[in-house]
Each structure stands twice: as structure tokens, then as C-alpha cells.
Structure 1
């Protein structure tokens, strides 16, 4: 941390959060940090809010590879991406002054739509029917046609996203030290015509997943990247793979991923 002194706060624009950010800016300045107004000038980016604010901070600052990200929770408790709470300033000061933090690296996902536009995700990519009707996806793993899916959609998550949308549809929680993709179904239809695996499956980080949208009158799937909708219609093909790039986040030495999972769910 000693070589990283340029700090940028990513906040919601409501008066309460702005006041909290102002207070934290004064505190950081007292301990030798330079608070900047442009994220491009920062080598530490701190979100104030919850996990949603953290995901927005990473996305809106361009998934920076050359800086650290940290999250400060303003809700009732800590969360998966937030190691600090807004009311526990003593903990923040100790982390800054006594070198109690480590760097944690989280893999990201690349999503390429129709061989044209590529987007990144930290948690997950989701594709769903845009209307109240099932739709069909041809699922390919590398060059293998794996299955024909009919249902509400699919969620493809990175390891850190395994505790989010993926978990809510009975996917497995995956250790973020494993570079992989997890594919989870949303209400698949299984009968004599359509047959899917019927469970989540995990792909090595070396694999490539391709989803082809079968055009049968429902060719307007709704797609999401983390907590943001992707406004593209008439989608024919989506390719998902690990990007090879990782987001560096602040980790307290006594707050591992599995300690977070235990605190959040058990």
C-alpha cells in the first residue's frame, strides 16, 4: 500500500453518501493519501455502498488492471466485496497504517456478442427470454455441440459470482482460486424433444462456451452483465470465456473468501 497513495471514491450521488465520502476523504488525507477527482489518476479505487456499488465501480472505471479496488459497506453488515463498514473507521485506519491487508485477484469474464462487441463481467453474464415464453439455445463447448436448451435462460458465472445469481438457482459455490466458468440453467424444459444436463456444470478456464439463439419468433433475449442490462437486440450468438485478466481487490488478512461465505450464508 505504501506505493499506492492516489485514492478515488466511487459513490452514489445522494447527499448522505456524498457526505460520507467527504468524511472519508478527510480521514484519508490525514494519513498521507491523495484523494483524486478522476478515477484515471487513481491507483486505489474505493466504492461506498454495497456489492452493487462495488460492481458498478469496477465497470465504470474500466476494469482497471493497474490499481486496487476496495469496498466500504453502508448497509447493516459486510458483504462479499466489502471488507470495511462505514462506521468502523478504526478498522480502516489500522488497515492503512499497519499493513493488515493482502491483495486478492478475481478472474473476469469476456462476453462477445455476434463477433462484434466484447464486454467484461466480474460476477456473471445472464441471458433470458425477453418475453413470457421459453426460448432455445444451442450450447457448444469449444467445438462440441453439447445440448439444445429450451427454458427461461442461463447464468454463466465467474467463481466470485457463484455466490450471487448463480447460487439462487442452486449453482455451486466455487473457490475463486479456481479459474473457471459455471453454467446454470433457468427453468429448463426436459422432454422427448429437448434434453439438457439438468444441473449446473463447471468449465475449465481454458474452455470456450458458445450459445446460439434459435430464431423461432422469440429473438429478443434479455442479457445482463453483473447488475447491468445489456441493450442489444436481435442476438444470434454469444461467446463466453475467461478473459485472462484479473481484478485486484483489497483483502483483510482475517477475512478470506470462505470466511465471507460463512458470515453471509451460515
Structure 2
């Protein structure tokens, strides 16, 4: 098995990374930074996002596993003291009772950014946000090539189902199960008056729909793809739609999404 480990860089995560390498070597695993089959993230959900973007060009051929150094997150199935158990499950099936690993696939969002200086493409696993740098954002929002609303406010958040539990939730967005191939549009402090009118509630678009956000004034904007910031001062438009590819996570034991939600928010 070819694997790669990406850790958060703090002392505990580095120590756990070293432990994983030692046990992996003892069981015949091969460390491969170029074309791993499995990528192990050690840290938090932010570390998993970093791992995802590190291997963004190889997403279809990689499965991810998360080890959390604090509490269990939405992308981490394993605690710090469970690495030996994880390794044994990764080794293979020793007994009929050992469950077979399951691959779960989460939808992603395809982002096409058009600027006066050129175009760029991105993929995000959690969310894309557009915010103003110097003041409020003024933007036209189209759905399926028809004008839907004229927005003025702090910004707009476009989230995946997996990302619906992150920034989207704090904005009042709905929690969406990752088996649903959709994206969610959530306003960030919209202003409503006679000129600027918005729906005032989150919108959920299926995978065969798309939305376009058009900049409607000269404005400095901050585009954020997950944890990566892109300042832009010449934006024309952004197109968002459910991506064709998905991100894969390998589950060596059951950990249902709604259990994760309950553990994260209800205790």
C-alpha cells in the first residue's frame, strides 16, 4: 500500500506522524509523496483541507483518512491513541469478523472565476466565499443564466454538503447530508431595500444547476476557497456548480454523518 502522511506541525501531530510511519514500515507500507493510494491527515479538519488541496490534481485516485489530535471532527474518524488499531485494519482482513473498509464519496464545488486579467478554476471541499475588502459587496446573482437577485451586503457563501456544517451553519444555513449532490447559497449580512432585494434565506441547488455571481461595481474583493484566500480587484463573474469529481474517504468502521453532527453540536 502506498501512503502519505500530512500533519499539522505541532508537537503531538509530529509525534503521531512518526508513530504512524514506524508502524506502517513494520507492516510493509510504502511512503509515496507523489502518487499515494491513501493520504493520512493528522491534526484537525483544517489539516484535512490542506491535505485535500495538496493532492487536488489527484483527487479521483486517492482516499483520505483523518486522525484528530483534539476531538473527532467531520473529516476525522480516529483519535490519537487509535493509530495501532487503524494500522491493523489497513493491513487487511485477518478474520471473517473484521469489517471491510468502505469508500464514501463527498460532493465538491467547481468554481470558475472570470477576471479582466484572465480566468481561473478551483475546486473546494467545504465552501467558497466572496467578501468585500473596503465595504459592502454589490453583486448580481443569476441561477441557470437568469437573474435571480441583486445582492448588497458583507458577502456570499457557497457551500458543499460537507461544508454545510462549517461557516454555512454559522450563517444560518441548513445542514445537508453529503450523499445529496448539491450546493448551498447563503447570504452574509445582506441589505434589503427598494433597490437591493434578496431571498433572505439559504438556497439549495441540485447538481445540474449553476449560479453566477457578477460584480456590479469597481470593488476589491476577497475570494476564499476553503482556507485559501485570493484577493481580486478586477472580478467580472464567478460560476459555481457541483463538480464532476468527488473526494473519497475510506471508512474502516462505521461513523454515520448524523452521529458526527450530534457529537459536534449536541454533545
- 2:132 matched residue in structure 1: 129
Segments of 4+ in structure 1 off by > 6 A?
none
Q: Is the 8 A contact 2:151 2:198 kept in 1?
A: yes
- 1:246 matched residue in structure 2: 246
Q: TM-score, normalised by structure 1?
A: 0.91
The alpha-carbon distance between structure 1 residues 95 and 11, as it changes in their structure 2 partners (threshold 3 A), is same
Q: Is the 8 A contact 2:48 2:75 kept in 1?
A: yes
Aligned length: 256
Greater shift after overlay, 143-152 or 21-30?
Answer: 21-30
Alignment partner of 2:167 out of 159, 165, 173: 165
Alignment partner of 1:42 out of 19, 36, 41: 36
- 1:258 matched residue in structure 2: 258
Q: Is the 8 A contact 2:8 2:44 kept in 1?
A: no
How far apart, CA to CA, are the structure 1 residues paired with 2:151 and 2:13?
44
Q: Is the 8 A contact 2:220 2:231 kept in 1?
A: no
RMSD of the alignment, in Å? 1.6
Q: Is the 8 A contact 2:109 2:124 kept in 1?
A: yes
SS of alignment partner, residue 87 of structure 1: helix
Structure 2 residue 5 is matched with structure 1 residue 9: yes
Q: Is the 8 A contact 2:64 2:250 kept in 1?
A: yes
- 1:117 matched residue in structure 2: 120
How far apart, CA to CA, are the structure 2 residues paired with 1:261 and 1:43?
28
SS of alignment partner, residue 88 of structure 1: helix
Q: Is the 8 A contact 1:129 1:153 kept in 2?
A: yes
How far apart, CA to CA, are the structure 1 residues paired with 2:251 and 2:75?
9
**Which structure: greater strand fraction?**
2
How far apart, CA to CA, are the structure 1 residues paired with 2:136 and 2:62?
42
Q: Is the 8 A contact 1:94 1:100 kept in 2?
A: no
How far apart, CA to CA, are the structure 2 residues paired with 1:252 and 1:174?
23
SS of alignment partner, residue 41 of structure 1: coil
Greater shift after overlay, 228-237 or 157-166?
Answer: 228-237
How far apart, CA to CA, are the structure 2 residues paired with 1:196 and 1:91?
51
Gaps of 5+ in 2: 93-97
